[in-house]
Structure 1
Amino acid sequence: MSVSLSRRALGGAAVGAAAGVALGATAPTTSAAAEERPFRAATGHHAPRPNILFILGDDLGWADLSSYGSPHIHTPHLDRLARQGVRFTDAYSGSATCSPTRFSLYTGRYPGRTKGGLAEPIADKSAGLEPTHPTLASLLRDAGYRTALIGKWHCGYLPDYSPTRSGWDEFFGNFGGALEYYSKLGLFAEYDLYEGDATYKDLRYYTRILTERASEYVSRDHDKPWLLNLNFTTPHWPWTADGDEKTGAEITRRIKTGDRFALFHFDGGSINKYKEMVEDLDRSVGKVLAALKRAGRERDTLVFFGSDNGGERFSYNWPLTGNKASLQEGGIRVPSILRWPARIDGGQASDLPVYSPDWTATLLDIGGARPHPAYPLDGTSLAGHLLHGKKVAERDLFWRVRGERALRRGDWKYYRGTSGRDQLFHLTEDAREQADQAPYETERLAQLKAAWERIDAELLPYGS
């Protein structure tokens, strides 16, 4: 990475690839970071409203891509996407688990503003995203977009909750938080592959099916701009790759015998199997992007790739501490890549702290949609910054989960984990959150703690 990168890019990013010297790590020679330059808006470009292809991996860790420093996982298609666009080094999910982050993305608001968002994650049929709540899809649809969601929904179950009740014209995918990749049996031993609100039978490997569906969608002759939320379940457990029918059959057998923990696959998986799944995700994204290019829509489509939360058991998160479900950096910092050739130059990196609700606000702004006045957004639109070079004012990024709290302001992060002890970290110098500055920065700690508590006071309490 260019030596002209800011101190935050070198310290806060803490990527093995991008900041190898600072971390004592060797940067992979294939890294997209090797020739990146600091982000700068190309203000002379103009284009109509874009199509939007928003892709999420599932439980993909911050450093699980070779462009983010993985020494053993190779992701050439996503690395190419990063070279063609902007790679965000300090990007975060809206929460530390699946469904709350999806709530924050679909609504542009803190998960704690809605009852369904209090589930961390949704694990039964008692909660979901209320169809009356405006969403990214419903607001863009009102502004003239076609909308579709392909893949994992995880914001409630039928008959009360569904993407087609919340603004998406089309839905093909699964409702629950996990499923066996072949049999499509979910957490309740139910068959969980749907087209609209009707079950759809296909016992092939799930990632293949989603890739085919998404490729078909982006290849259509649409009469309007479109939004496609493409939510892969890869590399979420169970740890089965394409071709692992035998493993899938054994997990399915256990599900059918009433083993409630079969899908969690505590007795399976490995670093090599995880690598296989992430590399399969990379190839799948590559196939969808190739279909988009063949359709002649690459230039005028805004593509975003990210993850719903930090990595899980076999993820590579170095140098971050923590994993999925934690508000430490490893639980919420995620790989995030944005490409829009018509408006944004490639080969760039941004160290701007951003998170899921910001992308909602940004896409609504770019798509010409207005938020509903009764449901103000908690995210900040980055459209002015990305397209016109406007400075983003310093603001607070807020997180709350049961037993943990966190708030980032600039380079500083306030964190209280399950120990109940307030801590303060300077992330550009200590991305691993090991050097607690709370004893020395008492005034700053008090300010950030008070800011967290002001936001928390506006949210629904747990148990409501």
Structure 2
Amino acid sequence: MNDPRMSRRLFQGLLGGGALTAAGVTAAGPADASDTEERPFRARPGGASSRRPNLLVILGDDLGWADLASYGAPHIKTPHLDRLAHQGVRFTNAYSGSATCSPTRFSLYTGRFPGRTKGGLAEPVSNRTQGLDPNHPTLASLLKGAGYATALIGKWHCGWLPDYSPTKSGWDEFFGNFGGVLEYFSKLGQLGEYDLFEGDATHRDLRYYTTVLTERAVEYVTRDHDTPWLLNLNFTTPHWPWLAEGDAATGAEIAEKIRAAKSHADVVDALSHYDGGSVAKYAEMVESLDAAIGEVLAALRRSGQEDDTLVLFASDNGGERFSYNWPLSGEKFSLLEGGIRVPTIVRWPARIGPHQVSDEPNFSPDWTATLLEVGGARPDPAYPLDGTSLAGYLLRGEEPGERDLFWRVRANRALRRGDWKYYQDTDGKDHLFNLARDSREQADLAPDRPELLKELKAAWEKTAEDLLPYPAS
């Protein structure tokens, strides 16, 4: 969605003409939810605090580009996430690191392309042999080395015990599920086994999973912390099976099918719930996610830590069956915009002004680099980041400059440079789109701009040369 009010050209014109006043973007406290006017992003140098912030990173699961009211959903009410957006910066050109769950999580946890690591080649991780190498530095391990307490609550999806776990990769605490999907009540997951753990031990709780995770997150943020902290809060909502809090009976039916399954494919078929769900049920799930995040943010406010906590909210990939993605084409698994462009919101009251919108292109590895910088942690030089820190942009108004955003999946490829996107479809045909004019990717300009297509394709291939090859299917 490319609103002309949000263009960089207009932003520069406003600055040059003096139409945007500093007073309009420097309110320090939480934004008034009734004030929904958005202004082009402008950094607030200095801010109200120089301390290292707590870092609360919240992921929705398969939440589509426009599934929030603040991103255009006409039928889904998301007052808490809309308020979060009004209190900080809403990004209109933000992307996941890949088109499916676990590769994006690899890219966020490592700050690198998923194809840098063997486990990141799985799309997604689906068996016990795949996972994030515990020896690889992560967002958590690097921040922990800089003095942060670290915790992950919710969906991990980067490998199963005994070889893989958040607690083996830098998180002090883990409470959640190892796999990519689970039935919301029984907690039976994609391996057909119970999948709710505290650390390395199973934890029995048969209540609705979103509720359980919310309680744990509230407990964590309201603790007496004597150091800054990182909390990765990874909800499974609104990923299938499409179940809301009142659907325990339907959940029990799915659980019975899982128990009766004779193969892994049978388990996945049961969890996929493709004979169920609806647009209305999906909206109910998104609204429950919004309410859950509202509880966590209210607890953060009560704890007195709101001003000095950077909150990052995003989705792990584009939406699926019932998602509202307009005007984008494509969905999860695809590198068309609907598969990778995601809602992304950042709030840090002490340093970032409210009511702002930014069209600066970015993707998951950029946020790894950003969080490390604001947390005072250095990347490991042996594992160079593929993301670019946006701390200078957010805090000092430094333009990141034009750079390439790169994606590779088995099915297709994509690269974005400025407004231009190179895309190769599943048949191997190359396309060129101008996203500023055509975010729906309907006007293929490859025949009109062959030299630009060649240039972007060559850039994609140069980056891909450094990645691990996919194993034979």
Q: How does the TM-score come out when normalised to structure 2?
A: 0.92
| Backbone CA RMSD of aligned residues | 1.6
Matched, 1:257 2:265: no
Deviation at 1:391, TM superposition (A): 1.1
3-state DSSP class of the match of 2:284? Answer: helix
Which of these residues, 215, 219, 223, is aligned with residue 218 of structure 2? 215
Deviations, residues 274-297 of structure 1 (Å, cap 9, x unaligned): 000000000000000000001000
8 Å Cα contact 1:32-1:83 kept in structure 2? no
Distance 2:210 2:112 in 1: 29
Equivalenced residue count is: 445
Give 2:151's match in structure 1, choosing from 148, 151, 161: 148
Q: Which residue of 2 aligns with 1:203?
A: 206
After TM superposition, the structure 1 stretch with the greater mean CA deviation from structure 2, 251-260 or 334-343, is: 251-260
Matching of residues 40-439 of structure 1 within 5 Å: 40-45=42-47, 46-258=49-261, 259-260=266-267, 261-439=269-447
Q: Which amino acid counterpart does residue 6 of structure 1 have in structure 2?
A: S
Partner residue of 1:36? 38
Report the Cα offset of residue 189 of structure 1.
1.1
Aligned to 1:21: none
- Deviation readout 1:76-101 (Å, 9 max, x if unpaired): 00000000000000000000000000
Cα deviation, residue 403, structure 1: 1.9
Deviations 1:387-409 (A, max 9, x none): 00111111000000002000000
| Aligned 8 A contact 2:185 2:208 in 1 | yes
1:14: which partner in 2? Answer: none
The aligned residue for residue 23 of structure 1 is none
Unpaired runs of at least 5, structure 2: 12-31
Could you tell me which residue of structure 1 aligns to residue 27 of structure 2?
none
CA deviations 1:205-248 (Å, max 9, x no partner) are 00000000000000001010000000000000001000111100
Tell me the distance in 1 between the aligned counterparts of 2:127 and 2:427: 29
Q: Please, which runs of 5 or more residues in structure 1 have no aligned partner?
A: 11-29
Deviation at 1:4, TM superposition (A): 4.7
Q: State the distance in 2 between where 1:286 and 1:391 align.
A: 32
Aligned position for 1:5? 6
1:47, distance to aligned residue in structure 2 (A) = 2.3
Q: Shift in Å at residue 8 of structure 1?
A: 8.0
How far apart, CA to CA, are the structure 1 residues paired with 2:189 and 2:235?
A: 15
What residue identity is the alignment partner of 1:152? K
Q: Percent identity?
A: 71
**Displacement of 1:152 after TM fit?**
0.1
Alignment check: 8 A CA contact 1:55 1:304 kept: yes
**What is the CA–CA distance in structure 2 between the aligned matches of 1:435 and 1:174, rounded to whole Å?**
42
Matched AA of 1:438: A
Deviations 1:361-403 (A, max 9, x none): 0000000000001000000001111100111111000000002
Instruction: State the 1:7 CA deviation.
Output: 6.4
1:450 aligns with 2:458: yes
Alignment check: 8 A CA contact 2:33 2:86 kept: no
Supply the distance in 1 between the matched residues of 2:292 and 2:368 (Cα, whole angstroms): 24
Over residues 51-106 of structure 1, what are the superposed CA-to-partner deviations in whole Å (9 max), with x where a residue is unaligned? 00000000000000000000000100000000000000000000000000000000
- Amino acid of the structure 2 residue aligned with 1:165: K
Q: Which amino acid aligns with 2:278?
A: S
CA 1:292–1:327: 2 relative to 1, 3 Å: same
Question: Deviations for 1:313-357, whole angstroms, at most 9, x for unmatched residues?
Answer: 000000000000000000000000000000000100000000000
